[in-house]
Chain A
Amino acid sequence: MDWLEQELKQALARKEPAPDFDSRLRRRLVRTLPRWFAAAAAVIVIAGGGAIYRHHQGEQAKEQIMLAMRLTGSKLNQVQAHVQSIGERQ
């Protein structure tokens, strides 16, 4: 590649459009979208929200079960220790 080709490569390097290019494009895009798309987007948001809520409820139930099991475990340990101490005394 000679000096002119090098200079052309530099002169024609890619450039970025204005920073608001994406937002202007999105605005133009929204104006061209069919109405069903807005409805579909709303359905996705609602369905997604429902799924997150159900997931959250499931997590809460799981935590409660784990707590109950930990409590039960500690009680059982106490009972076992108590039974063992009675056995040793006899």
Chain B
Amino acid sequence: MIEIQSAARQECDFGELMREHRSMVFSVVYHFLHDRDQAEEIAQDVFLSLHRNLAELESPAHAAHWLRRVAVQRSIDVARKRQRRPMVALENIAEPSVKPAPGDLLLGELLRKLVVSLPETQRMVVILRYQEDLDPTEIADVMGIPVGTVKSHLQRSLALLREKLERRGVGER
């Protein structure tokens, strides 16, 4: 009976974790792959994996960290499999007919496409920094890379994005 009650409690915990973290998991994958259907599929795989490992997670904070790490890893794995058929190449991103200005929705879409065109590790660092608001130490922990590498990826990514935007005539007002 104790085992059954514990299974029921786990189901309850799972529901709460799903409601609380579905947008985080989905958004990490979506911003990384820029494909809504695939992002939902992968986010569901991440939660199914969480369900299988629920007993090993010690606290809600541990579960959140675990989910973020698995979402990051799955996204990178899928992108690597996709590399045989490259995704959005930077050169293929259409120039907007009207130049977007800071605060525009057009600029938001252009930025998301430019982020997807970054190399995998840089892309994930940018997503974790600006979507998840993590600092370099936390990003290093989630991705399993040195803090120095995170910082240099961030600087390089920002410089690259700034350059691409300026080439499209987008800059600070």
Contacts and interface: CB of A to CB of B under 8 A. Distances in A.
A8 interface: yes
A21 B46 CA distance: 13
B102 interface: yes
Contacts of A4: 158, 161-162, 165, 172
Interface stretch (B26-34, B66-74, B90-98): B26-34
Contact of A28 (B27, B48, B130, B173): B48
A14 B132 CA distance: 8
A56 interface: no
Interface stretch (B75-83, B107-115, B137-145): B107-115
A32 interface: yes
Nearest to B100: A7
Interface in B1-47: 1, 3-5, 7-8, 18-19, 22-24, 26-27, 30-31, 36, 39-40, 43-44, 47
Is the contact region of chain A dominated by helix, strand, or loop, or is it mixed? helix
Contacts of B173: 3
Is the contact region of chain B dominated by helix, strand, or loop, or is it mixed? helix
Contact of B23 (A2, A6, A16): A16
Contact of A40 (B7, B24, B27, B102): B7
B127 A17 contact: no
Contacts of A3: 102, 172-173
A15 B8 CA distance: 30
B131 A12 contact: yes
Nearest to B15: A22
Contacts of A2: 172
B4 A44 contact: yes
Given A7-B102, A25-B48, A12 B23 contact: no
B153 interface: no
A28 B14 CA distance: 14
A25 B47 contact: yes
Given A2-B172, A3-B102, A8-B115, 7 more contacts: A4-B165, A8-B126, A11-B115, A21-B43, A28-B44, A37-B7, A47-B1
The 6 closest A-B pairs by CB, nearest first: A11-B108, A11-B111, A12-B131, A8-B130, A17-B26, A14-B27
